[in-house]
Each structure stands twice: as structure tokens, then as C-alpha cells.
Amino acid sequence: MNIILGDRVLWVAIALLSVFSFLPVFSASSNLTYVVGNGTPWSHLLKHFIVLLFGFALMYSLHKVPYHYFKGISILALPLIIMLLIYTATQGNLIAGANANRWISIPIVGLSFQTSTLASIVLLAYVAHLMSKDNPEFNRLKSSILKLWLPVFVVILLIFPANLSTSVLLFFMVLILVFLGGYPIKYLLGMFSMGLFLAMLFILIAKVNPDWVPNRIDTWISRIENFNSGVDNGGNYQIERAKTAIATGGLFGVGAGKSVMKNFLPQSSSDFIYAIIVEEFGLLGGTALILLYLLVLFRIIVIAHKSDTVYGKLLVLGLGLPVIMQAFVNMAVALQVFPVTGQTLPLISSGGTAAWMTCIAFGMILSVSAGQKIESNTQQDSEDKNENPLIILGETL
């Protein structure tokens, strides 16, 4: 009996990303120690190790669960997630007057939990289940409003005021899943227009009456303006330091732990850790990391292609593509291709719940892959029995 099931290449790629993460996290955490005065590099490294250890335990446990169970789990979990998002959105946490209702604290372990990450997994698993059902009536707009689009818009609108980038990525991923599930394009364009209209309406109302609901609209506008200006006017502080770190790295980097710009980047161990990686390991190290994420993407596509069920295909793509999208958005921000988004680098950046949710997503993907191998082995055993007369004779006797 195999202890580890599923795609072995994906397991190795995930393990390589996780093991490599200890180097930049240990190096970049010196910023938190000597500049912010928070803990020691060893304490941050230990915390990162515990987080990944627990994450791998979650991933291992989930990859043993038959993936069709996730259908019922997503249906039951969706109302709970909506209530959790409502609780998160109504905490009243403000930072410099802006909405900071992204996290709820877990006092027992001393960690904060970002509810939007778990909500994304549950919602995408739920959408994958709905779109895998062979029900022609569901492809009509009227029949899909209550079951599909109402939960989607409720979840995204609860995330939107405090976390623009996560809500936008989630919405686009839902549209991709629904498109892959065969939903009519004319209705899909209508839902996209509806989402855009609701976003513009919220921004307009918040600008006219900012006291109505705490929001981060001024922060979003400031980031976009700073991105478009391309001038170091104070708002581009992090981007400029990240670009300096990348330029300093050159081809081979300055060496592990020898980054200088980590002392000037406030989010050097999370949002801008890719800049520190390129500074320390150079263009070769940064390119190798990109290739590793591309390998993960390739295996995700292979697993989806091999799945014998529509639900398996949609579940793998729905949970796997956002991880890769998040990785490339994070790297694009460090390279000033995108405005600052606050997206971390999956399995690399320090943090708690973000790493756990990534591990949960990969655990569910590996569950689909494990199911393929079990079915393949069962089918092979059946064929061997039918072809081997000695086995047939033995069973008869």
C-alpha cells in the first residue's frame, strides 16, 4: 500500500518550493528583527517551519479523501463561509482610516486567519460541482441565478471592500470555471458586466459618502496613480526598493542571506520576497523559481486532462490556476508590471493561513490525481484476472 498517492512530480515540486522558502524567509526576517524589533530570525524560521509542517499535514490528509466528497463539503461549507465573511467584514478594524477587515485572530495559536482565502477554495469547489452537473436547464440564466450567481456575488462583495486583488482574482477564476463548464457566453458576458457595474457603484457611493462604509478606495487609487506615474514620489517606495534589489542581484546574486535591500523593504518576507530572492540568487535563481511554478502548472494541466470526470477536471483547474496566477502576480508587482496588490508568493512567503490554504488546495488536487491512479490500478487488476487463466482457475477452485 502506497503511503503517498497522487502525482509524484507535483509532490516533488511542492516540496522543493517549500524547502527553498526557508532561505529567503530566514534572510528577510532580519528586517522584522532589527528594523521592526519583532522576534529573532530563528523564531521567524521556526514559525515558518511549523506553519509548513501543519500545511503538509493538511495536504496529506486531504489527498487521502476521495475527491467526490468535496462536492457535499463545499455545499455545507458555503453558508458557514458567508457567515464567517460577514463576521470578518463587521469587525471595524481600521488602519489609517482604511478598511482592514481581512483577518480574524486565532488566540490559541497566536495567528491571524484571512477568511477570504478559505472562502475562495470553498466557492471554487462549489462552482466546479455545479458546472459538472449534467443539467441543461442550469445553462439558462434564470435557472442559475439563485444557485450559482447569488452565492458568487455575495462572497465576492463581502471580500471586495477590504481586499480588491483577491476579489478580482476570484471573480475572474469563477468566470473561467463557468466558461469551461459550458455556460453560454452571452450570459457570461452579462455577469461580467454586472460585476463591473456593482464594483463601479460601490466605488462611486464610497467616494461620495466615505463614512457610509470603511473602504480602501483611496489606497487603490493611490497605488494605481503611483504605478502609472513611474516616479519615486514616496508612494512608490516599496517598488523602487524592490527594483533596486533585483538590479543588485545581477546574474548570480550576492549570495544567500547577504541581501541589503531587505532592511529597506517593509514586506520583504511576504509581498516582496521575490525581489529578495533575485537579489540573493540572481537572475538564475529567479528564473529557476519561475520554471518551478511552470512545472506545477504543467502537472495541474496533466492531472485535469487525465481526470475521467468533469468535476475532477474543473476542481483541479479551479483550485490550481489561482495559485499560479497569484505567484505570477506577486512576481509581476516586484518587477513593476502590476500595481501593488498585497498578494503573497505561494509556499515561499512567510505567513500562516495563506500557506495553509495553498496546501489545502494542493491536497484536493492530489486527491483527484490519487483517484486516477486507484481507478487505473483497479482496472489493470481486473484486466489481468480476465487474461490470466490460472487466476480464473484458482478463484473457481
pLDDT band at 327 (very low <50, low <70, confident <90, very high): very high
pLDDT, position 395: 42
pLDDT, tens digit, for every residue of 159-182?
888 788 888 899 999 999 999 988
Write the CA distances from 331 to 234, 238, 270, 276, 339, integer angstroms. 21, 13, 11, 11, 11
pLDDT, tens digit, for every residue of 6-62?
899 999 999 999 999 999 888 888 776 665 566 677 888 888 899 899 999 999 999
Average pLDDT over residues 80-88: 90
pLDDT, tens digit, for every residue of 286-319?
999 999 999 999 999 999 999 989 999 999 999 9
- 150-154, 243-247, 303-307, 379-383: lowest mean pLDDT where? 379-383
pLDDT, tens digit, for every residue of 248-257?
888 898 988 8
Residue 102 CB burial class (10 angstroms; 0-12, 13-18, ≥19): buried
* AA identity, residue 69: Y
pLDDT, position 106: 66
pLDDT, tens digit, for every residue of 379-394?
444 444 455 543 333 3
Share of residues in the chain with pLDDT > 70 (%): 78
Question: For residue 14, what are the contacts with CB-CB under 8 A and spacing of at least 6?
Answer: 59, 296, 347, 362
Could you tell me what percentage of the chain is helix, strand and coil, using 3-state DSSP and rounding each to the nearest 5?
70, 5, 25
